[in-house]
Structure 1
Amino acid sequence: MTFDPASSRPAEDTRPAVFDTIAVIGGGSWGTALALTAWRAGRRVRLWAREEHVVDAVARERRNPFLPDADIPGDVLVTNAMEEALAGADLVVLVSPSQHLRTVASRVEPLLPGDVPVVICAKGIERDTGLLMGEVIEAVMPGREMAVLSGPTFAGEVAQDMATGVTIAAAQEDSRDGFHDGHLAARVAVTFASESFRPYVSGDVRGVEIGGAAKNVIAIACGVAEGLGLGSNARAMIITRGLAEITELGLAVGARLETLLGLAGAGDLMLTCSSTQSRNFSYGKALGAGETAVRRADGPVVEGAENAHSVVALARRLGVPMPVCETVLAILDGAPVSASMKELMLADLHPEAVGARDDWTTPHPARIEEVEERLSA
């Protein structure tokens, strides 16, 4: 695309073609926020919700109980009939919890023409198979064009039309060709872009997916530190070391470093680890404070708790050390919270650089002293 500097507009209108009719499959807070984003961008929007009480509440009050502060315009169709939501859609956005994506995609696939692409907004790794979300879609919807959308996004702020940046990634047939106006990521970006919603495009699907899957587990660790009263220094350390873990895991699956340091990696991690608006942070904080962090079956999913096992399993399979994620998994499996965080602090000393652990390690002096005291007691 070429630009006329005098007008700041394309000299020739070769902009990517937008998708006009969007079906958002998943009527939770994030699905609702994305439906509102698409509507504000001028698209026709249908929102499918599994829960009948959500559809009933929207019909009565134009409010979703999962996102009660946001008005849903009357021309946004909200339904629990999948066929109605998908009819005539030229883009489908899948916004289900990660462990339910396979089931939802299996319902969508037979109802969708083969040339309609999908955008994956689930963040996680399938526990039973170890597959990333894109790999789940490849298995359930073979041959279908797809993109992933991720980034630092609290649904409530997006729904309130507050400034937000995301990454949209879709595979490039030939990375040497770069992006072009027909690239799926470019088309999805112009479809959702507005004055307050700014998408960036990427060809690194794996990097975007790894960042989204692992950051929720790290956020639980930050919440635990908050609940234990360990202070801001501890949270900064966990975020930084968590980013190192995400980076090492991402590089092991072929992700690009710049993606892991971008919105879908470092950006999403910083947001999720720093606010009680994050369900994962709040859940960890309750654990750290000694509360029973109950996940109600009909409530919002805590993705970090759902994905801790699958993230750690992938890391172990690839030989990637992820001590922060391992600590979260141990706590979720019943290990004492305070003792688990102490174990993290007393791990062997080693270089900070990603991948340099094998260069040098030595036992933590405090651990040696502690063991000696126990033996002499």
Structure 2
Amino acid sequence: MGLILSRDHAGRWTLRLHRRQAGITGRGSELLTDPETYKNSRDNIRDNNRDNSPIAVLGGGAWGSALASALAARGHETRIWVRRDDHAAALTGGVSPVLDMAIAAPSLATTDAAAVLDGAGMVLAVLPTSATDDTIAMIRAGADPAIPIAWAAKGLVPGGDALIPEHASAHLPNPAVMLSGPSFADEVTAGKPAALVAASQDDAAANAVAMRFHGSNIRVYTSNDPVSVAVGGAVKNVIAIASGIVTGMGLGDNARAALITRGLAETTRFALALGGQRETLFGLAGLGDMVLTCSGAHSRNFAFGLALAEGGDTPAKLAEGKHSAAVILRRAARLKVDMPITEAVARVLIDGADIRAEINRLLQRPVDSEWG
């Protein structure tokens, strides 16, 4: 929702409220000029913000504990499910076990999924994509089938090549919301500001997720394009590995800027082939997340590529892009989408290809239109 300033034929300026129509997946919108309609829309937002039902967070790692901390600090009853008792104890004591940072303590941290999901009004699924099916099984067994599920993992589902919202919608009746954007968990945990996007084909579900964070250090915008948000979150991890390689090889800032820009181009091609919207990739979940992940010192994927180029030990922490490259390429091949950077990263990681040879291969590609 926003304001539009327009000018009529007589030169008079008019300020009108603009709101996207519910349930429309394209670019349609309506102009609201009736004061009563405006008042009712604001009342609905306030009603959503008064939802005091518990929030279930599945996964208490770095990102899970960061999101849970923001919600708990906002005053929500926040429950976290984790696999390990020692992690549950740390979270209960107000410490993120992965980041070793103070957090706003959740109302409950436990290894009992049923206790976390019972009566929850929203679920935040923050486990790795490799645990997507386990997450779905937990939700199906213990959650209300009508509540929104916000998926905060980034990548395609292993064992196939489905996007998370595709896979979730095929196996759960709950509305699926993708929650993504440029964000490092330690900064969010420290209370520093961040902006994310909640995307769903169900406008009410996206709004419900955004409103839960409203007033915290996390600003959440809404979108009706979960496909592009999921694609942006998956592909940027692969491009970040390439960015780390470029930096580790000492190829300079020009090369890294070119890589990020061309990485965004192939991400956009992939999203469009899946039915996504180009403009989404120029927002938080596309350009924003890619710039951060490809240049931030805290990026696991960037660090992985950097170590790979420098010939050192690759970081022990999970680098999602390493596991995503082959899955993304498999789906892209079916759609006949050209993704040369992703392909080069996959050849290096999977086939052991020479890094310099892959860089030269990219530079020698046929001349083409920038957006061809």
TM (normalized to structure 2)?
Answer: 0.85
Match of 2:305 among 284, 288, 295: 284
Code of the aligned partner of 1:316? A
Is it true that 1:67 corresponds to 2:99 in the alignment? yes
Match of 2:360 in 1: 342
Match of 1:169 among 199, 202, 209: 199
Per-residue CA shift, 1:9-68, capped at 9, x if unaligned? 968633251342100001110000110111122211001111333123334x53122121
Q: Considering Cα pairs closer than 8 Å and 6+ residues apart, tell me whether 1 or 2 has the greater RCO.
A: 1
Count of equivalent residues: 334
CA RMSD of aligned residues (A): 2.1
Is the contact made by 1:223 and 1:288 (CA closer than 8 Å) also made in structure 2?
yes
Is it true that 1:301 corresponds to 2:322 in the alignment? no
**How many angstroms apart in 1 are the aligned matches of 2:198 and 2:243?**
27
C-alpha displacement of 1:80: 1.3
Match of 2:152 in 1: 121
Structure 2 gaps of 5+ residues are: 2-16, 18-31, 33-37
Is the contact made by 1:249 and 1:315 (CA closer than 8 Å) also made in structure 2?
yes
Q: Which structure is higher in strand share?
A: 2
Match of 2:182 among 127, 136, 152: 152
Match of 1:209 in 2: 230
Is the contact made by 2:94 and 2:104 (CA closer than 8 Å) also made in structure 1?
yes
Code of the aligned partner of 1:118? I
**How many angstroms apart in 2 are the aligned matches of 1:58 and 1:106?**
24
TM (normalized to structure 1)?
Answer: 0.84
Aligned counterparts, 1:30-49, within 5 A: 30-49=63-82
**How many angstroms apart in 1 are the aligned matches of 2:145 and 2:218?**
29
**How many angstroms apart in 2 are the aligned matches of 1:106 and 1:349?**
48
**How many angstroms apart in 1 are the aligned matches of 2:300 and 2:107?**
27
For residue 295 of structure 2, give the secondary structure of its aligned residue in structure 1: coil
Match of 2:48 in 1: 17
Is the contact made by 1:99 and 1:306 (CA closer than 8 Å) also made in structure 2?
no
C-alpha displacement of 1:224: 0.7
Is the contact made by 1:83 and 1:111 (CA closer than 8 Å) also made in structure 2?
yes
**How many angstroms apart in 1 are the aligned matches of 2:108 and 2:140?**
21
**How many angstroms apart in 1 are the aligned matches of 2:107 and 2:117?**
13
Aligned counterparts, 1:186-335, within 5 A: 186-293=207-314, 295=316, 300-333=317-350, 334-335=352-353
Match of 1:185 in 2: 206
Match of 2:108 in 1: 77
For residue 196 of structure 2, give the secondary structure of its aligned residue in structure 1: strand
Structure 1 gaps of 5+ residues are: 4-8, 173-178, 357-377
**How many angstroms apart in 2 are the aligned matches of 1:189 and 1:56?**
29
Code of the aligned partner of 1:95? V
Match of 1:373 in 2: none
